[in-house]
Amino acid sequence: MAHIRLINPNTTASMTASIYRAANDYAATGTQVSACQPEAGPVSIESHFDEAISAVGVAQEVIKGEQEGNIDAYVVACFGDPGLLAARELTRAPVVGIAEAAFHMATLISTRFSIVTTLGRTGIIAEHLLEQYGFRQHCRRIRAAEIPVLDLEHHPEAAYRRIVQECCRARDEDGIGAIVLGCGGMANLTQEISREVGLPIVEGVSAGLKLAESLIGLGLFTSKHGDLAYPRPKPFTGQFADFSNLTLPPGG
């Protein structure tokens, strides 16, 4: 049985539960899904600063998973993919970011896609990721519903309508074949939005889970040759002293 650990980089427990339910619905027979969140950090991730703080929490959760010793892959369940490369340094297990996963999936079913995200400023972060991952030419437009992330939890009906409105505008105006949802908190909306909009809707949590299953099935692991080798043990000071002389379990 493969065990895939979802890491919600923010600290909102209800969102962690929603992400877990959305991913577990797509898990193959024989896949165990678990979900976690950092003990400290932002309640939502809507800025570069939020991402920087949450990246530490992601690393801490990967270290915990490695100490447990039974995690076969990790999914970083925030569309900014915070701390993704650092997480990959800490384990041989595959680590999948949901933005990168969603971009890959969207290009397999359409030559052009648009992204519908929460806030305009997070759309800029998504644009940086498109450039970094090499998908910029595939994305026609990044649209923002202009809703705070936690509105998905606190005002779900109003948030849903705003998201659908932007998805319909993307369908009608952008010349695309698919839409990528740009927030892990939208994970439970995929099928309903697809029915309303009439286009394939790609959501990164489920996409990340299925890519993680594929990597496990192919026997592929995170390379430890080059920049993703384990970090060199060294002293850390202050609040990061627990990272001092970090050693990870053999084969972790």
Q: Quick one: pLDDT at residue 250?
A: 61
CATH code linked to domain 99-203: 3.40.50.12500
Beta strands in 145-249 (DSSP E): 178-181, 201-203
Side-by-side strand order, sheet with 2-7: 31-36, 2-7, 73-76, 95-97
Q: Quick one: pLDDT at residue 153?
A: 85
Let me know if domain 2-97+207-243 sits in CATH 3.40.50.12500. yes
Instruction: In the chain, list all ranges with CATH 3.40.50.12500.
Output: 2-97+207-243, 99-203
Q: What are phi and psi of 244, to 5 degrees?
A: -60, 135
Structure tokens at 129: 């990721």
What does the radius of gyration of the chain's CA atoms come to, in whole angstroms? 18
Q: How confident is the model at residue 252 (pLDDT cuts 50, 70, 90)?
A: very low
Structure pTM? 0.95
Give pLDDT tens digits for 115-155: 999 999 999 999 999 999 999 999 999 999 999 898 888 89
Q: Is the pLDDT of residue 100 over 50?
A: yes
Give pLDDT tens digits for 176-231: 999 999 999 898 899 999 999 999 999 999 999 999 999 999 999 999 999 999 99
Structure tokens at 24: 């577990």
Q: Quick one: pLDDT at residue 247?
A: 86
Mean pLDDT of 39-63: 97
Q: Is the pLDDT of residue 251 over 70?
A: no
In angstroms, what CA-CA distances link 158 with 24, 150, 182, 216, 225? 26, 12, 17, 39, 48
CB contact at 8 A, 32 and 1: yes
